[in-house]
Amino acid sequence: MRLNKYLAECGVCSRRKADELIAEGRVGVNGKKVTEQGVDVGEKDIVYVDGKKVVRVTHYEYIMFNKPKGCVTTCSDEKGRKTVYDYLDTSRRLVPVGRLDYDSEGLLLFTDDGELTFRLTHPSSAVPKTYIVKIEGSIQESDLAILRKGATYEGVKYSRCKVKLLGEENGLSRLEVVITEGKNREIRNMFAAVEKNVVFLKRTAIGDLRLGGLGRGCSRELNEFEVAYLKSL
């Protein structure tokens, strides 16, 4: 098995992140540092990350978390801000499936199933993610058409998406947005391309898996049917 896949299946990180760890010289096999991609490992090989032995996971954990605004999707923050791990009640090494930025909130998944993380976050998967967005002022149908066809902002082209205006109130427009790409700050930049400022952003669903009534800062384990659904994506 390829080393990056092995690390993912052991719940260390995603395959993509494993490639980074290998390139940084943080991975060892049988006492020797590995820096080349494409190395294979077998059942008798002993793998280390940062000097710690990697133990294969036999039972994975899957958690849904309602991320509140005002925390970062990382283990630690150089600015001393709260992280999502300040809210999670688990002793296991879980990684987020994708990210939400500091000012965004809503559905985040955490797991030590690196293979599922890889599949759900890889661009080719095109898993739909649904958001509720509030912007300042009103928005014209012509602007919505630009967003649906794929906006370009500061030289970055964003994919087609679904956008539906839900209503206007107190000087704000409320919309539902469904994207399949997931680039950094994608929705905020899409609206910036049509000169609209996002003041509220909440992810409510990944595919058909919905946040439901889970409170801000709260988490719960996924049931077997939800896990099977995610794997079917």
CATH superfamily, domain 128-206, is Alpha-L RNA-binding motif (3.30.70.1560)
For position 121, what pLDDT does the model report? 87
pTM across the whole model: 0.78
| Residue 84 to residue 61: CA distance in whole angstroms | 17
Q: Looking at the predicted structure, is the pLDDT value of residue 56 above 80?
A: no
Q: How confident is the model at residue 77 (pLDDT cuts 50, 70, 90)?
A: confident
Q: Does 8 score more than 90 pLDDT?
A: no
Q: Are 137 and 196 in contact (CB under 8 A)?
A: yes
Tell me phi and psi for residue 35, to 5 degrees: -125, -5
* Residue 114: per-residue pLDDT: 82
Higher pLDDT, 133 or 125: 133
Q: Report the CATH architecture of 62-124+209-232.
A: 2-Layer Sandwich (3.30)
Q: How large is the angle between the packed helices 114-121 and 224-232, nearest 10 degrees?
A: 50
pLDDT for 229 beyond 80: yes
Instruction: Look at residue 138 in the predicted model and tell me its pLDDT.
Output: 97
Confidence check: pLDDT of 58 > 80: no
Q: Which helix (DSSP H) or strand (DSSP E) does residue 7 occupy? A: helix 3-9
Q: Is the pLDDT of residue 148 over 80?
A: yes
Burial of 104 per CB tally in 10 Å (0-12, 13-18, 19+): buried
pLDDT for 63 equals: 96
pLDDT of residue 137: 97
Question: Domain extents for the chain?
Answer: 3-53, 62-124+209-232, 128-206
Q: What is the CATH number of domain 3-53?
A: 3.10.290.10
> Tell me, what's the pLDDT at 16?
82
Measured CA distances, 173 to 106, 153, 199 (Å) = 19, 21, 10
**Of 213, 214, 209, 204, nearest in space to 226 by CA:** 209
168-172: list long-range contacts, CB under 8 Å, 24+ apart: 168/138, 171/136, 171/137, 172/134, 172/135, 172/136, 172/137, 172/199, 172/200
H or E element, residue 220? strand 219-221
- For 158-212, the pLDDT digits (tens) are 999 999 999 999 999 999 999 998 888 999 999 999 999 999 999 999 999 999 9
At 11 the pLDDT is 73
**Distance (Å, whole) CA 222 – CA 62:** 6
Tokens of 10: 């052991």
Q: Do domains 3-53 and 128-206 have the same CATH topology?
A: no
**Catalytic amino acids?**
101
